[in-house]
Structure 1
Amino acid sequence: MEAKGSESSGGSENLPFRLVDQQSQTVLLRAEDILGFFVDPDQTPPDLVTFTGVQHLGTGRGKTEEAELQVVDRHGERIGAYYLGRVRAARSRTPDVNDERNPEVPYDFFGFTEEFPEAGRIWKRWAGAGPVESGEWARVPAGWQESWLHVVQTSWFTTGRRATRYRGGGTVELDGSLITGRDAFYCALGEAANGPRGYFGSNLDALFDCLRTARADGTAPFELVWREQAASRAALGADFTGQVLGLLGECGVTVRSD
């Protein structure tokens, strides 16, 4: 169901974040950015989450028990979502979005945060981007890759896809030279199996779910051509690499190094 008052085309490229009352599907606000929601795991969560660059503010609803934070692309299509439950506006007055160019609107999320500090920047990048390109994840700083994987997984399921393989063809090519750690491995594997910004697991259990679901769907087992496997093994460690290879073999995937 589309939120009431949401843009279906155009006009959303600078407003990727919106707060929605799930029960009524009313848009409470649209904003350019959100501060204090995506945090470092070691960071003490702020008391308030602040929406900045608010250019739409609903009237008469400063509190809701069924809130959802949505991320939308420049066409107004939802690409990510977080169920928040209870939220409450913490403003002393209602900003006039006609008079204030970029008002800030604080909200109390009652301690709800996401421990992926770069996710907000990545969502903004995705929301305003043009055509999706291969290898985007490898061109961001290494410290962003955990957040990138989180955004990939969240977007994948928000947009109605499942933990399975969608791309056809019997061969998947994985570039091991780009793999610098486990997050990078899952980013690379998701792209190899399901295309740019594709998901194919974010840990071993999730990888098994993807392999098992594909098998249940009747998808033929694929051959994984793992290029530069020695380089990625050095980055991932022999134990983890062995677990991955064992899981792939258990699920009927033939692995060939190249």
Structure 2
Amino acid sequence: MEGCDSSARFSLYLDDLDTTVLQAEELLGFFDQDSVTGCVEFALQRATVVDIDAWRKVCRAKHGSPIGMAGVRFLDRDGLAIGTIDVFEFAVVEVDDSVAAMSGDRFDVRLTGIGSREWSSISAALWRERQVGGPTEMNTWVGLPRSGCREWLSVALAAGSRAQVDHQLTDRQAGVCYTLDAAHIDDEVSFFCALGEAINGPGGYFGAGLDGMADCLCGDFGATVPFSIRCDDWHGLVERLGKPFVDAVEEVFQHQGVKIVKELLSG
């Protein structure tokens, strides 16, 4: 657990000091633009200090001067980190109340750095859903643009990896038959969204590509080979996704001992 502030939904981790220095209720700035792969200014609102010694070191640095690498972490309802935004050349721009910061009261702080990847309003919605324990229903990715589905997979991977570390995700026994809902699969990205949920339920992850799927079949991602996958429209997938891709999927499955039960849609 990151700390003791039950209302915190974000934390600031400093790699160079190997410590969580702040927790905060709100994060602004990252999701107001389509990409933060360059320099970005952001803010943590209603923050509290977790490590006072580390915070003093940060405050002694000249405002705007790079301090090092930081991670802005997303916290769930239990205060556990479920995802991270890496920020290079992190620096403090402004602290609205330095007295409050040192006394344990809440304060706002503006920061800057170089983001390591793309984020968007879709990213924000997906992460906020995870922070409150979601998704609780299947197919919440349906209707997202292709880029949104890719982000959905990225968030699912990060959340799944965190669940592994916290021992919340364990492999089920071999021999299970999983059902793949093909109704909303219309490209390779949506195939992996549906596959992840077929194996691990709402919001589940089981690869974002063929290589990732092969890695998941080796264990630690919810399923133990050999197992089977039942699909009521596998032949429709061939038509929509193309025979080369579906053949490649079948080859990986066959190599790892996964049987595909191909059924035809009735009616």
TM bracket (short chain)? 0.7 to 0.9
**Letter in structure 2 aligned against 1:203:** G
Q: Deviations over 1:139-187 (max 9, x none)?
A: 452342111111001111133359x972345201101112122221111
Q: How far apart are 1:32 and its partner, in Å?
A: 1.8
- Say if 2:178 is the partner of 1:186: no
**Letter in structure 2 aligned against 1:194:** N
Q: How far apart are 1:39 and its partner, in Å?
A: 5.8
Match for 1:228 among 230, 233, 236?
A: 233
Q: How far apart are 1:29 and its partner, in Å?
A: 4.2
Aligned length: 239
- Say if 2:22 is the partner of 1:28: yes
After superposition, the Cα gap between the structure-2 partners of 1:11 and 1:103, relative to the gap in structure 1 and judged at 3 Å, is: closer
Structure-1 residue corresponding to 2:252 = 247
Distance 1:190 1:77 in 2: 22
Q: How far apart are 1:105 and its partner, in Å?
A: 3.9
Distance 2:82 2:145 in 1: 23
**Letter in structure 2 aligned against 1:32:** E
Is the contact between residue 36 and residue 50 of structure 1 (CA under 8 Å) also seen in structure 2? Answer: yes
Give structure 1 stretches of 5+ with no counterpart. Answer: none
Match for 1:200 among 186, 198, 206?
A: 206
Q: How far apart are 1:220 and its partner, in Å?
A: 3.7
Is the contact between residue 39 and residue 45 of structure 1 (CA under 8 Å) also seen in structure 2? Answer: no
Q: How far apart are 1:206 and its partner, in Å?
A: 1.0
Structure-2 residue corresponding to 1:176 = 182
After superposition, the Cα gap between the structure-2 partners of 1:37 and 1:171, relative to the gap in structure 1 and judged at 3 Å, is: same
RMSD (Å) for aligned C-alpha atoms: 3.3
After superposition, the Cα gap between the structure-2 partners of 1:148 and 1:38, relative to the gap in structure 1 and judged at 3 Å, is: farther
Structure-1 residue corresponding to 2:79 = 76
**What is the TM-score of this pair, normalised by structure 1?**
0.77
Distance 1:95 1:17 in 2: 18
Matches within 5 A, 1:4-43: 5-7=3-5, 10-12=6-8, 16-22=9-15, 23-36=17-30, 40=34, 43=35
Structure-1 residue corresponding to 2:68 = 65
Report the structure number with the largest CA radius of gyration: 2
